[in-house]
Amino acid sequence: MTERIVVVGAALLDGGRLLAARRSAPTELAGRWELPGGKVEPGEAPEAALVRELREELGVETEAVRRVAGEWPLRSPYVLQVWTARLLAGSPEPKALQDHDELRWLTAGTLWDVEWLEQDVGAVREVARVLDAGGAEG
């Protein structure tokens, strides 16, 4: 059996905008933009990993809303799965606390203004469909 480890990416949506994060490390990924998130730990639900990672990396309180259809291969044994997410009432604004050096809220019209990690492009295309359909609400 091949081991497969899920990396959860958050499509954090707020007012029709998506939060993109620029990686600061490791060198081969630094400077490129991604969906904030990280590795799901053994026995952890992906939605819980998403909430934990966003708290650690961005200092925000969030909830996962729904899975975005699809799964994207990363460097073996990792695969990227994406959930839409929203900020809970009273959450602080996101800050680049860990792993990132810049954050940007993107609209459907500015989604491709940043240089996404190549392996994220398929996922961001799916998120674009969610944004076009009106966001995470509902």
Ligand X SMILES: Nc1nc2c([nH]c(=O)n2[C@H]2C[C@H](O)[C@@H](COP(=O)(O)OP(=O)(O)OP(=O)(O)O)O2)c(=O)[nH]1
Write out the residues near ligand X by the rule CB under 6 A. Answer: 7, 9, 29, 34-39, 53, 74, 78, 80, 99, 117, 119-120
- Nearest distance from residue 15's CB to ligand X, in Å? 22
Beta bridge partners of 82: 9, 68
Q: How far apart (Å, rounded) are the C-alpha atoms in residues 121 and 123?
A: 5
Nearest residue relative to ligand X (C-beta): 38
Nearest to 60 by CA among 108, 128, 13: 13
Q: From 117, 129, 126, 92, select the one nearest 20 (Cα to Cα).
A: 117
Closest distance of CB 111 from ligand X, Å: 14
The nearest distance, CB 138 to ligand X, in angstroms, is 24
Of 32, 21, 9, residue with least CA distance to 123? 9
Smallest separation, CB 49 to ligand X (Å)? 8
